[in-house]
Structure formats: C-alpha cells, structure tokens
Amino acid sequence: MRTVKLAALPLALAGRTALGLGKRAGGKPAELVAAEVQARTADQLFRVLGELKGGAMKFGQALSIFEAAMPEDLAGPYRATLTKLQDAAPPMPASVVHTVLAAELGPRWRQKFASFEDKPAAAASIGQVHRAVWKDGRDVAVKVQYPGAGPALISDLNQVSRVARVAAGWIPGLDLKPILEELKNRVSEELDYGLEATSQKAFAAAFAGDPDYAIPDVVHHKGNVIVSEWLDGVPLSSIIATGSQQARDAAAARYMEFLLVGPQRAGLLHADPHPGNFRMLADGRLGILDFGAVNRLPDGLPVEMGQLLTLALAGDAEGALQGLRRQGFVKASIDIDAEKLLAFIGPFIEPLRTDTFTFTRAWLRSMTLRLNDPRRPDFVLGLKLNLPPSYLLIHRVWLGGIGVLCQIQGEVAGRATLNRCLPGADLPPPQT
C-alpha cells in the first residue's frame, strides 16, 4: 500500500498536468492553470509524505530545507506545504502507542508515570512524542518509535529512489540523488534509540547549565522508547513562518553558533539540522531535540576548516590552494590556477567579509545558479573540486544549515562567530 501511494505521486502530477493543458486549450490563462496544478501537487505531496512517515517523510523534510534555493515563482506553492513537514505528521492511534509502551516498559508501564497524554505533542518520521509526567513529578517527553519503522524506512527510500527522476519534476532544479543517498546511509543509526539516547546524554552533559542552549537530558531509555526532560519553546518552523525580525535575528544567531560549538563541546555534530529539531525558549536559549543522527568528531571540527577560510579571506590564493590539496579538496593530479580558484570561491565566503550578514532566499538562489550555470567561464572549476569522505557529513550539515538560515532570514555576525567558535579561524576584519 505504501509503494502504491508513493508511485501515485508522479502519476497524479502527470494527470493534473494533462488536465491543465485541457483547461489552457479551453481558454484558461496559463499562469492560473500552472498555479492550480502546483498547489494541488503540493497538497498531495504533504499528505502522502506525511501520512507515510518513515523514509517518505524523511525525504520530505530534507526537501523542506532546500526550498530556499528554489526560484521564487516555483517555491511559493511548495513552501508552506514543505515546511509543515518540519514539525508535523499525522499521529498513530493511542492503542498502538500503548502496545509499544507495554512491550518496552512492561505491562505496568503506566506506573512509571504520574500522568500520560494519549494525544501526541509531535509526530515525526520514525516516531512520535507524547507529553507526560514522570513518577518523580518531572515533565517529560516520551518518544515512541513506530512499529515496523525500520523496514518501512528502507522500503520508502528505495521506492523514492526508483521514481527520483520523475520526482525531480515536483521541485525543479533540485538534485535528489545525494539527499536520498545520505538518508539511506543514516537509516541504521536513526533507528537505534539506544545510540540516540547515548548521544543525547553526551550533548546534555556538555551543555548542562549553559546560558544560551538547552538540551533535555534522558530520564529513561528502553528499546524503542526514550523518555526525556520536557522542553517548551517556539519551533524554528514557526519563526520562519510568522516570526518578527527580532525573533529571526536571535534564532539565526543561536542556530549558527550551535552548529559550530556542538562538536567542540560534545565531540558530536548534530546531523539533522531541519527546523523541527530546534526551538527558541522564553528565556532566549535555543533548545535542541532529536539526536538520532550525529557525526562523531572527538577532536571537534577540523582545525583546517578555520585555517582555509582565513587564508581565502586574506586573499592568499596559493596558500589556500595548497591547504585544499593537503585536505583532499583538490587532488594531486588536478591542475588548477590558484587565483582563478580563489575568485571562484569568493562569492561563497562573501557573508564573512562584513560585520553582519543576512542570509536570504535570494542570496541562496544566486549561489545555486552560479554553481549550476555551465555558461559561466569558471563553471569548470567547480567540477575540479573534490569532497573528502571525512568532510562529507560536515558538508551536508552545513549545506542544510545554510538552507535553514536562508529560511529564517535573520541577521548574524558571521565573521565574529566563526572567529570565536571555529578552530583555526582568524578571519581578517572587513576591508575599507
């Protein structure tokens, strides 16, 4: 049944497109017909990916981060629909939840709680969260994995991969294959709630009592159930949708800094940067949730990252090229002009040349077009660059993080933040 629903998505799009052509032939304006087709497609996309949860919803959440890179005329119909996937999904019945809790916590599982709310507070891709009060009086979040989530996750991703070429028509201009490959590679870790509980404990210990960040500690874990401290707050998805500029600025600054300080403090990189996993608390702290996907970095982020950025911003073309070669970004067999490479990189590090910078959808679209425009003289330079395996997940997280920053559209002190938080960074002040 899941396979049938996923396969129906491109077929439904084809049917609506054919209907649209008929309406245009009947005299209806092309723009109106196109908007109608996109709106209906967006609605079905959310309903199917949300209802199926598992890999289908993971796929939708990954798409939601990158909507900021889409051309505005295409992004509009999809934006509200995709961002729904960042913090919502249809819930599973209470009876199923009770069955899982009885299997994992024992038939008298209710005795572990002073109270338990059957209606979920949040429902995501492979599990949902219920609010409860632990037996000692603490407010807690009870995360319950969906029965059969593992096989469903793998099946969904395989099915979506098979229709990826057609699916590209849902959101034009987005390369879906790398997203799907990355999701597949993380499947086993995200299904292991024991591993997730261990990672969450490590983050919570590293940030205990922090004035800027709040990470709920694990109260209890057994099998496919994690009980954590409850964390109130406004999800980043809500700030993206309706937040004031002040709220956007505060959220963007905290979010950007966390991507840098997490590895230094906890030896772990939070590898699922979509907005549903972050929320702003009333006291100004950024709350972080969901530690199923992490990158283990016991020594923190590579010091070479800061060193390379420092060389590039200082205009040291030859030094930057040699550093990129040492790290494997430029293979020894590749002949490349240092000055031309520095000019190619320049626009991407522009946000660090000023005291403050506001990441916007327009900026991200311009960078995306630059990378993908074969008519540009420096287009071939991008093809000569390599991504070392040790940087793969770091790259994915930062790419997603920048996508989220462009959705938040808040002002950040990027250069000062990197100088303070990124090992090896000594970025020069702006040139006057």
**CATH number of the domain to which 214 belongs:** 3.30.200.20
pLDDT digits (tens, 9 = 90+) for 117-164: 999 988 766 788 999 999 999 999 999 998 877 776 666 666 666 555
Q: What pLDDT score does 14 carry?
A: 39
Give a yes or no: residue 141 inside a domain. yes
Q: What pLDDT score does 29 carry?
A: 44
Rounded to whole angstroms, how far apart are CA atoms 79 and 160?
Answer: 20
Instruction: Please state the domain count of the chain.
Output: 3
Angle at 157 between CA 151 and CA 163, to 5 degrees: 135
Selected residue with higher pLDDT from 346 and 4: 346
Per the CB < 8 A criterion, the answer to whether 71 and 92 are in contact is no
Q: What pLDDT score does 248 carry?
A: 98
Q: Are 22 and 40 contained in the same domain? A: yes
Give a yes or no: residue 175 inside a domain. yes
Q: Are 195 and 214 contained in the same domain? A: yes
Task: Tell me what the pLDDT averaged over the chain comes to.
Answer: 80
Here the tokens at position 330 are 């430029």
Instruction: Work out the burial of residue 208: count CB atoms within 10 Å of its CB; fewer than 13 is exposed, 13-18 middle, 19 or more buried.
Output: exposed
Give a yes or no: residue 51 inside a domain. yes
pLDDT digits (tens, 9 = 90+) for 67-96: 555 555 555 555 555 555 544 556 778 999
Here the tokens at position 277 are 């996993």
DSSP 8-state class, residue 364: H
DSSP 8-state class, residue 171: S
pTM score > 0.85 for this model?
A: no
- Confidence check: pLDDT of 8 > 50: no
- Confidence check: pLDDT of 30 > 80: no
Which domain range does residue 416 map to?
A: 303-421
Nearest to 394 by CA among 251, 307, 296: 296
Q: What pLDDT score does 9 carry?
A: 44
Rounded to whole angstroms, how far apart are CA atoms 293 and 270?
Answer: 7
Per the CB < 8 A criterion, the answer to whether 52 and 2 are in contact is yes
